[in-house]
Structure 1
């Protein structure tokens, strides 16, 4: 079933890639698929989010919203697509599709969750309580800082995560609104999801699956993807060697070495994010736009006149 979901995600990526369907090979051939594809059920929200992006690209906002809500019922991160849609709605001054997608997402999420919240309230709350109460855990940049001697335990973990994630999202929004040209939808979404995984209390190996379809569409360059995937693969090896300490301590990785591998993974994520930021600020570097395309996944935003975001608005007001 998991591989059926993978095929669905690949198909959706091919369909939404516009003139570059071969970019979906990045998703299909990535080492992370072999390494972490069956660790958990993350391919379910990955496939649903890929379908949501496809639905939006076909200008079907209600269906997009429903798929977002279903994906968020499995993992919350598909809701971040709504943030990206809102940013581009502001940039284009067109909110109708975003509004319908938001209503569809909320409706689908409530429809899935309400029966469980009503019948099994304690079980339904368990995930949210764990997320609230857990400390900094494996794979996170916070844990690496602790292992390197930084006293991160002196801060409240939830506040640190919320604050750092919020600041990064504000930065992505500012970049998107001030950029000389409207960013592509998947560029904005990738940066927001990247901010989420980098600031989270835990960085599970399968988070690479969350990022793969977005990287394939946002920065489809094999060299860059292979550099990024190398960092992900090194972390995959490192986390299992480190977890050996609980069963075979003499064959495990020490905390400091594990922290270094975490930071290598973080650096690989930041590498991809940095390239996407450059592509947004200097669109001539964007490989997708080199053939004259605007935003293949942009749906109703694709080809719309660009109102120039905040920077142009300020200039117009000043005049």
Structure 2
């Protein structure tokens, strides 16, 4: 008779994670301190906001989306003033706006309370994301999660928007999949997609590895659970607040080329055939080409790629081909970049590029109308060095990940004898379909 498996008590299992929780709390606190100049009044002065590099969407949207008087989606406001985020974020905004209105009668103080409450919640999301990432990485690489806790770009961008909510849900999805909890993985993936759209790329990564391994049942369970969770949180708004619900999708489709996107460089240079419709088509076409390349790589590699590698490549492709590449989008990529290839040299190079972009965008906005403060800001050429710096350093990281996939012995994770710590049912699975003969 088999001996029962002895598991240490929960507290003993949690102890190794406590230092990481403290470091994540430190990162969250530093991000709050960095924006103190704006919290104490700077948001009422655009020049001060940009020169202190402390801009956040949280405070101004409290007024611009009339959260001080109405609820998201159900608000009786013009279409362009409705909340332009998926429903999970809209509900997060509603919860904290109601708390702020309950605590403070004064509108300005309400906005500050709204900001403070939201930031505390986002800080908890960062701590949760770091701990979940550490659990995903496994005991031998647990400390890689420090990148997510204390990376300079994370501290600088943490509270620009609500992206850390989707980050925690995405890490939770990855951990649930790694632990063979397909229903939980699907629910968390559906909620993540209902928070920010980018986690949809992870469904594609799961599909490609399922195609290679033939593990269809876990994938279908996860996909069905994701669809169910997405419908549960979306259908009530689709039925009772259709205009408010569809605002995000209409806004995403109609939005023009915006800050950070490489497409903006080409438009700025006056390239032909780059109208708004052309950019939308070119963006979708270029993403499709990159995704096709990732699919071929996944199915033709000599050894099945790790899930984190494919998630990283898919997410990086989505970001680089998008019409918008806001500074806070770095929060999407940090944990997946580290899980895909925890090598400090390219990560440091990328972090330097992200830091330069973070400061460059606010300096560039200073020189643009309506402020037009050329004495304080930077011009086009300087700004676009920051845009391309991000693109080039991410392409470098993608190239290294592709090399690791084609030469698995170069993969530092697999050098420790690990097959795929995030793979779940893919971990150690034999190939069922490949484009070329593979080896084990």
Q: Normalising TM by the smaller chain, what interval?
A: over 0.9
Alignment of 1:109-148 (within 5 A): 109-148=230-269
For residue 242 of structure 1, give the secondary structure of its aligned residue in structure 2: helix
- Gaps spanning 5+ residues in structure 2: where? 1-120
Q: Does 1:170 align with 2:288?
A: no
Distance 2:380 2:325 in 1: 16
Taking the TM superposition and a 5 Å limit, the aligned residue runs for 1:272-311 are 272-307=397-432, 309-311=434-436
Does 2:133 align with 1:9? no
- Out of 349, 353, 359, the position equivalent to 1:231 is 353
- Residue 178 of structure 1 contacts residue 308 of structure 1 at CA under 8 Å; is this kept in 2? no
Alpha-carbon contact 2:178-2:421 (below 8 Å) kept: yes
Deviation of 1:168 after TM superposition, in Å, equals 0.5
CA distance in 1, matches of 2:326, 2:238: 26
Tell me how far 1:248 sits from its aligned partner. 4.4
Instruction: Output the TM-score relative to the length of structure 2.
Output: 0.69
**Whole-Å Cα distance in 2 between the matches of residues 253 and 170 of structure 1?**
38
Q: Deviations over 1:218-253 (max 9, x none)?
A: 110112211111111111111111111232422222
Is 1:108 the counterpart of 2:261 in the alignment?
Answer: no
CA contact (8 A) 2:147 2:338 kept: yes
1:312 CA drift (Å): 2.0
Q: State the match for 2:390 in structure 1.
A: 265
1:156 maps to what in 2? 278
**Greater shift after overlay, 8-17 or 259-268?**
259-268
CA 299–138 in structure 1, closer or farther in 2 if over 3 Å, else same: same
Shift of 1:152: 5.0
How far, CA to CA, are the matches of 2:346 and 2:144 in structure 1? 13
Asked if structure 1 preserves the Cα contact closer than 8 Å seen for 2:266 and 2:274, the reply is no
Q: Which residue of 2 aligns with 1:249?
A: 373
Deviations 1:61-120 (A, max 9, x none): 110010000011110111211111111111111111110110011111111111112111
| Per-residue deviation, residues 105-160 of structure 1 (Å, max 9, x unmatched) | 11111111111121111111111111111221110010012223433524522211
Task: Please list every run of at least 4 consecutive aligned residues from structure 1 whose deviation after the TM superposition is greater than 3 angstroms.
Answer: none
Name the count of aligned residue pairs: 313
* Greater per-residue helix proportion: 1
Q: Which structure is larger by alpha-carbon Rg, 1 or 2?
A: 2
Distance in 2, matches of 1:224 and 1:170, equals 25
CA deviation after TM superposition for structure 1 residue 306, in Å: 3.0
1:151-206 deviation line (CA, Å, top 9, x unaligned): 35245222111111111101101011100000000100100000000000000111
Aligned mates of 1:279, 1:157 — CA distance in 2: 32
Q: Partners in 1 of 2:251 and 2:193 — Cα distance?
A: 17
Considering Cα pairs closer than 8 Å and 6+ residues apart, tell me whether 1 or 2 has the greater RCO.
Answer: 1
Matched, 1:76 2:76: no
RMSD: 1.3
Compare 59-68 and 139-148 and name the one that shifted more.
139-148
3-state SS of paired residue (2:402):
helix
Aligned to 1:89: 210
Residue 309 of structure 1 aligns to a residue in which SS? coil
1:260-300 CA-partner distances (Å, limit 9, x unpaired) = 21011111111111111111111111110001110000001
Contact 2:193 2:230 in 1 (8 A): yes
